[in-house]
A and B are shown apart, each in its own frame.
Chain A
Amino acid sequence: MQKRMIAKATELLNNGTVDRVLGWKTGEFFYDLTPAVFDSVSALEAKFVFNSFSGANLSKYLIAESRKPGKIAVFLKPCDSYSFTQLLKEHRILRENVYVIGVQCDGMCDIDKVRNIIGEGLLSVRKDGNHLIAETFDATKTIAKSDVLLERCAVCKSKKIVTYDELIGEQGDVCESDRFDEVARLEAMTPEERFEFWRNELSRCIRCNACRNVCPACSCEKCVFDNDNSGVKNKAAADSFEENMFHIIRAFHVASRCTDCGECSRVCPQHIPLHLLNRKFIKDINELYGPYMAGADLNTKPALMDYTKDDCEPSIVYERNGGAQ
């Protein structure tokens, strides 16, 4: 796959279709692949990497990159293509300056899950069909790829590449996914249990803002949380209220625009299951206002930018729980 991608990018650079290529290069370690812009064939050959750790979603970078002079090629996995399409819908990316190469994807891996199985001393990991072969200081071990997928890949919502100029590999379809199961499990708990669950999770937040910075939907030029007067001043563990406020408001701001791309959960250094917050909104929207998938097309209105005259009343929340008000 990597070879075909480099060949394609080389061809596009050489025939003048694009001036730059957005892809991934190795970061400090072999598994922390970082988004990178390549402006020459030699740079591509030296640094371009695509493997089981190319989880990073490149669409958000195009907000800035598509405004630079010249045209840029980008590689988008199916889930990234939803983010890209959603950003197009919000008029954040200049489509004419981007050449999209959709890439087939069979799931990206979570290095922490690999480590949990392999233990310390990991030197390299390479893919072999449905397996990963991990080299450590003293051994070579084979693990099933399905055991170490990123959370979002384990419950992949779609293999379909929504927007592209050309494809490498096969076009896929929307998948049957049980991504809402965990949300449903929480919904079935008592409020006290849910409160405990979330205190336990959210109290670990260090307010590094990585989740916000990586999120394609969080691309406001000025974020409320950068406002000194917001009363939530980027302080970790200052008060449980701050944690709640940050997470409720951030999730709310992206509600009906979040494509469930899973980047927020992937980058959280504290392993907070942020996807559960976003999916709760998605699940509610699906159930209350009809099925809706952000980024699946350019025309459907996001649920929060739309209404019908006979929408349910907010009291549905209590009624659903069997309470009367």
Chain B
Amino acid sequence: MSVNETFSPTIVAFCCNWCSYAGADLSGTNRLQYPANVKIIRIPCSCRLNPMFILRAFQRGADGVILCGCHPGDCHYTTGNYYARRRMTLLFSMLDFLGIEEERTRVEWVSAAEGAKFAATMNEFVATITKLGPNRRLEDLRCRKE
């Protein structure tokens, strides 16, 4: 796939309210830089992430989707992220099975204290997706903007 020099990917980051969203906040208050093309969507718990939301994000123009939640064992609701972990594993495997680039989806556990990890994860994810190029295999042409 050719890499567009000026390509700036759109990243959707689903962050759980209790850990990762607070982690994102912390990275902000600590003035840690992460790219502006990361759009954060707050969800009550990582297990709120319906697989359809991920596909929808790709449909509406995302080039990469990342889910951030509390570390396993630290879920505010005790077990939500354990369920999310299984769901995402199976979903990502299915996307891979359909030939959709495996790098485009990711799960990362980020606690409320890990502002630095949040920023580093986003920087790295944006770099990966920039290298990969725009999402073409799971896009909806009717939603393309350019």
Which residues of A are interface residues toward B (Cβ below 8 A)?
183, 186-187, 191-198, 224, 231, 238-242, 244-245, 248-249, 251-252, 255, 277, 280-281, 284-285, 288-289, 303-304, 306-309, 311-318, 321, 323, 325
Contact = CB atoms under 8 A, between A and B. Distances in A.
Contacts of B100: 191, 195
Q: Is the interface of A mostly helix, strand, loop or mixed?
A: helix
A313 B85 contact: yes
A-B CB proximity, top 6 nearest: A195-B99, A194-B99, A307-B82, A241-B140, A314-B88, A314-B107
Contacts, number: 118
Q: Is the interface of B mostly helix, strand, loop or mixed?
A: helix
A248 B92 contact: no
B63 to A, nearest CB: 14
A280 B128 CA distance: 27
Interface string B81-112: 01101111111111111111111011100000
A272 B90 CA distance: 21
B90 A285 contact: yes
B52 A194 contact: no
Contacts of A251: 94
A189 B32 CA distance: 41
B99 A252 contact: no
14 contacts: A191-B102, A239-B141, A248-B91, A248-B98, A249-B55, A281-B90, A289-B86, A304-B83, A306-B86, A309-B82, A313-B85, A315-B107, A321-B102, A325-B128
A191 B90 contact: no
B102 to A, nearest CB: 5
B83 to A, nearest CB: 6
A280 B99 CA distance: 13
Contacts of B79: 307
Given A285-B90, A315-B107, A280 B85 contact: no
A24 to B, nearest CB: 34
Interface residues of B, number: 40
B145 interface: no
A312 B72 contact: no
Nearest to A194: B99
A245 B55 contact: yes
B62 to A, nearest CB: 12
A195 B73 contact: no
Nearest to A224: B52
B56 interface: yes
B125 to A, nearest CB: 10
A133 to B, nearest CB: 41
A2 B70 CA distance: 59
Contact of B93 (A241, A284, A303, A304): A284
